[in-house]
Structure 1
Amino acid sequence: MAAENPSVSGVSGRYATALFELARDEKFVDAVKTDLDRFKAMLADSPELTRLVRSPVFSSETQSKALAAVLDKAGFAGITVKFLKVLTANRRLFAVADVIRAYGALVAKFKGEATADVTVAEPLSDKNLDALKTALKTVTGKDVALNVNVDPAIIGGLVVKLGSRMVDSSLRTKLNSIKHAMKEAG
C-alpha cells in the first residue's frame, strides 16, 4: 500500500503502513488516528517533548522511560503506545511527525477522503473550518480532511494544497506580486 501513495514512502511510510494494517485488522483505525492527532498536538504545545522526540542526544532507554511517563499521564493506551515504544526502541522516534502525517494519508485513502494541507495566518474558527471543508468537498466530490498549519508569515488569507493542486491566496504572495509588478514598471 505504501508504494501506491507517494506521500507514504520511506521510513515513515513503512512504519505508518505497518501501524495502519495492524489498526485496520484490529478495527482501531479511528482510535489510533485520534491518539496520533493528540500526540501531534502535544508535540506542538511542548518544546520539551519535541526535544525529547527529535534529539539524538537522548538514549533509547531515556526516551522510552520519559515517553512512557508522558503517555501514561495523558491517558494513552493500546496500539498507539505499543507503536510509539517500537519507534523509540528502533531509534526512529524522530520521524514520528512524518509517520503521523503518512498514517493520516492512509486513513483518508481507506475512507475515500481527500486530504488538504491548509496554511493560515491565524487559527480558523470551527465555522470557517466547516465552510472550507464544504467548499473543498464541492470541488473534489469527497469528504476532505484538513491538515491546518498556522504560519503568521503569510500575513493573511490562506494557502490550500490538495493533491497536486495549490491555491495561494495569501496576502504575502499578493504583496510580492505587486512589488514585482512595480519593479518592472519602474
Structure 2
Amino acid sequence: MAKLVSKVYGDALFEEALNKQEVDALFEEVKGLQMILRGNQSLTELLDNPKIVKEEKIGIIKNIFDGRVSDDLMGFLAVIVDKGRQKEIPAICEYFVNAVKEYKKIGVAHVTSAVELNEGQKARLVEKLLNTTQYVEFEMNYQVDPSIIGGMVIRIGDRVVDSSIKTQIYELRRSLLKLQLT
C-alpha cells in the first residue's frame, strides 16, 4: 500500500513539474526536503502524531517551509498532510527523485569491490558504464567488502553484474558438485 501511495503522489508531483517545466528546481527542493526530514526525526514524529489535528500540522509545515520552498511544493505538502499521508512523505520524495533521475537519464550505481578503487579505476568504470547503458550520467556509490575476495559487484536498479571471485568460486563449486564420477 505504501508503495502505491508513494507512486501516486510521486507521479503527480513529477507530472506537475513537467507541465510547469520546473523539473530541475523541484528536484533540488525535494532533495533538500529529504535532507531536512532525515536530519530531523522529531519533525517526522510531530507530523505523524495522531493527537495533532490536520490543520495544526499544515500550520507547522507552513511555519517551517513557507518562503523557503516553492508554492507548488508547499501546496503539495499541505495536500499530503490534509489527506493523512504525512507518514509517506519520505517515500513520496524518494519516488519523485528516482523518477526525475530516470527522466534525466541519471543512473545510480552501487559498486562493491574487495579493495578501495583508485580515481583512475573509478573513472574507467564510469566511462564503461556510460558506454554500455542508456544513462548520460551516473551517481556512484562505492563500498569495500573484502569478503568478495576480488573483482566487483555492480548494481544499477534491479540489474546486478557480479564478477566477484567469491561468486566465481561458488559457481565452480556448484559445477563440480554436479559432476558424477564413474
* TM-score, normalising length: structure 2: 0.65
Q: 2:72 aligns with which of 79, 82, 105?
A: 79
**Mapped contact 2:14–2:96 kept (Cα < 8 A):** yes
Q: 1:104 aligns with which of 92, 97, 100?
A: 97
Separation of aligned partners in 1, 2:140 and 2:61 = 25
* 1:49 aligned partner: 43
Q: How many residues align?
A: 152
**Mapped contact 1:116–1:145 kept (Cα < 8 A):** yes
* Cα 1:88/1:116, change in 2 over 3 Å: same
Q: 2:108 aligns with which of 110, 116, 120?
A: 116
Superposed CA RMSD in Å reads 3.6
List alignment gaps of at least 5 residues for structure 2. Answer: 113-118, 146-151, 167-182
* Cα 1:22/1:168, change in 2 over 3 Å: same
**Mapped contact 1:119–1:159 kept (Cα < 8 A):** yes
Deviates more, 1:75-84 or 1:48-57: 48-57
List alignment gaps of at least 5 residues for structure 1. Answer: 1-7, 121-126, 175-186
* 1:66 aligned partner: 60
**Mapped contact 1:64–1:85 kept (Cα < 8 A):** yes
* TM-score, normalising length: structure 1: 0.64
Larger-Rg structure: 2
Aligned-residue offset at 1:61: 1.9
Separation of aligned partners in 2, 1:168 and 1:56 = 46
**Mapped contact 1:108–1:145 kept (Cα < 8 A):** no
Matches within 5 A, 1:1-186: 10-72=4-66, 75-111=68-104, 113-116=105-108, 118=110, 131=123, 134=127, 136-144=129-137, 146=139, 156-157=144-145, 161-166=155-160
- % identity of equivalent residues: 23
Q: Which amino acid aligns with 1:116?
A: V
Aligned-residue offset at 1:45: 1.3
Separation of aligned partners in 1, 2:159 and 2:31 = 25
**Mapped contact 1:116–1:160 kept (Cα < 8 A):** no
Aligned-residue offset at 1:135: 5.5
